[in-house]
Amino acid sequence: MRIPIHREGWRFIAIFAAINAALYWLTPWAALGFAPLTIWCIAFFRDPERTPPPGDLRIVSPADGKLLPIVEAVPPEELGMGPQPRRRLSIFMDVFNVHVNRMPVSGTVIALAYRPGRFFNASFDKASVHNERMSARVRPAGSNDPERDIAVVQIAGLVARRIVCDIEEGDAVQRGARYGMIRFGSRLDVYLPSSAKIVVQDSSVTRAGETVLAELQG
């Protein structure tokens, strides 16, 4: 059985495998004890195929994980979306989730901004404000209204120290398409336009590219 692996993972898998081989040379028992960590490393970087559900107005989850309480919050100021609070859906990824991130909607990347910061536990609400992040502002396909823009924010967590983002400002993106990942354990926030209808509940388990979070109206 072939396990699809994200390209970011091969270096780490090679390091873990080399350590396992060195330990085996010293003593098989040490190698056996380290083997679960090597298996975990392979599993962490798995990159399974996902198929978005039909419906261009559906907003899908950008990450695997658990949906935290839905709150009203101002989008990252560096995206230029104004001071008006929007509903924010936050997905917390633990170290056992798939960490490949997927685009919640099809459209155009209007703005992209990186901001350094702290590394609080990503399940804490303050992580959205204080932690290191990469923010993207996406205008849904067929829309010319800035009020319908969506923000999706990759947030580093307590252990995470690298955010990978493969999109650039001006790119055309597709709903459910891969666009980055975060190592190791982190969070993604989605800021919705006021017209969007939320269809998930707090504490729901989400799958990137497949779980519908909300629906754009009109």
pLDDT digits (tens, 9 = 90+) for 14-64: 888 888 888 888 888 887 888 888 887 787 788 889 999 998 899 999 999
CA of residue 150 relative to chain centroid, distance: 14
Number of H helices, E strands in the chain: 3, 15
Distance between CA atoms of 49 and 179, rounded to whole angstroms?
Answer: 13
What is residue 21's predicted lDDT score, i.e. its pLDDT?
A: 86
Distance between CA atoms of 178 and 180, rounded to whole angstroms?
Answer: 6
pTM of the model: 0.86
What is residue 1's predicted lDDT score, i.e. its pLDDT?
A: 52
For this structure, is 106 an active site residue? Answer: no
Among candidate residues 158, 147, 151, 165, the one with its CA nearest the CA of residue 73: 151
CB count, 10 Å around CB of 70? 17
Query: Which entry of 123, 143, 186, 194 is annotated as an active-site residue?
Result: 186
Do 151 and 75 form a contact (C-beta atoms < 8 A)?
yes
What is residue 161's predicted lDDT score, i.e. its pLDDT?
A: 63
Do 179 and 102 form a contact (C-beta atoms < 8 A)?
yes
Q: What is the CATH number that goes with domain 58-215?
A: 2.70.70
The residues, ordered by sequence, that sit 6+ positions from 37 with a Cβ below 8 Å of its Cβ are: 16
Distances in whole angstroms, Cα of residue 96 to Cα of each of 39, 77, 201: 11, 31, 22
Do 60 and 216 form a contact (C-beta atoms < 8 A)?
no
In this prediction, the residues of the chain whose per-residue pLDDT falls under 70 are 1-2, 121, 159-161, 184-185
